[in-house]
Structure 1
Amino acid sequence: MRIFCFLVLVAASSFSYAQQFSYKPINPFFGGDTFNYQQLITSATAQNSLTAPLEEVKEQSELEQFGKQLSQDLLNTINSQLAQQRLDNLNITEEGTFTFGNLNVEVFETFDGLVINILDTTNGEETQIIVPN
């Protein structure tokens, strides 16, 4: 009986076939087909449960809008004058601290060039501009 089972197993194994295992990636970033990209993006977007928080729109009074516009105009004027002076190869000789509404502007010369520090006194934000020599 054992010999018969052994012969059946040997005979059955002669009829079995094997094939080579092959792997084809799906993701185009790892060698897959580029046509799968849109499907992967759509699937990832559908599974994404995170949403960006909506920013609250703050209504500004006309006075606040006017002040903001005036500050922006002054910054644009300073920028234009500095750019024009730089293009004309003129040296800015006025160093010191100037106040434009809520903005304190400090101008001084260093080895790196002309340094302009702009401080917003309402919220403490500071910006530094360096115009190289």
Structure 2
Amino acid sequence: MKKLATLLLLGAAGLCAHSAQAQDFVYEPKNPAFGGGNTFNYSWLQASATAQNTTEEPVKATPAVDPLAQFSASLNQQVLSQLTSRLLSSQFGQGAIKPGSYNLGGYQVQVSQGTTGVVIQVTDTGSGNQTTVTIPKGL
């Protein structure tokens, strides 16, 4: 009897069962920047990202510019530029610069004739840093 009940139960389950239907899953990208999503999603995605952005850009403080310090720096730069021009022209044939010591703002420039060419030693009187430049003869 148990076998008969089991068979009847299986038969009834088989009659009630429906055929299963399947569906294909299709991937559709949302973002148009990543492989062909809908272009109408772009503005919505941009607005959503902007709304979620809580990072604030740091405010850069602009330093106060002292006009006198700027003028002094400009003047020193121009004097050093003129000195460089005269040194180069003396080596290449226009005018001559005399060896000696020059004080230019915060710099002391020592010009001397060396065995290999004109030697220029620039010393920053504020910090004591030195730079030596040798312009060789016959360039």
* TM-score normalized by the length of structure 1: 0.51
2:112 to 100, 108, 112: 108
Cα gap change, 1:69/1:130 in structure 2, threshold over 3 Å: closer, same or farther?
A: same
1:65 is displaced (CA, Å) by 0.3
**Distance in 1 between residues matched to 2:75 and 2:128, nearest whole Å:** 19
RMSD value over aligned CA atoms?
2.4
1:97 to 83, 96, 101: 101
1:61 to 59, 63, 66: 66
1:84 to 66, 83, 89: 89
Structure 2's unaligned 5+ residue stretches are: 1-60
Alignment: residue pair count = 78
**Distance in 1 between residues matched to 2:123 and 2:100, nearest whole Å:** 14
Aligned to 1:123: 127
Matched letter for residue 122 of structure 1: G
Superposition map of 1:6-17 within 5 A: none
State the Cα deviation string for residues 79-117 of structure 1 (Å, max 9, x = none). 11111111117664x222111111101011111211011
Which runs of 4 or more aligned residues in structure 1 lie more than 4 Å from their structure 2 counterparts after TM superposition?
89-92
Q: Is the aligned partner of 1:71 residue 2:76?
A: yes
**Distance in 1 between residues matched to 2:80 and 2:130, nearest whole Å:** 13
Matched letter for residue 92 of structure 2: L
Cα gap change, 1:132/1:60 in structure 2, threshold over 3 Å: closer, same or farther?
A: same
1:57 is displaced (CA, Å) by 5.9
| Percent identical residues | 27
**Distance in 1 between residues matched to 2:96 and 2:66, nearest whole Å:** 40
Cα gap change, 1:111/1:89 in structure 2, threshold over 3 Å: closer, same or farther?
A: farther
**Distance in 2 between residues matched to 1:120 and 1:57, nearest whole Å:** 27
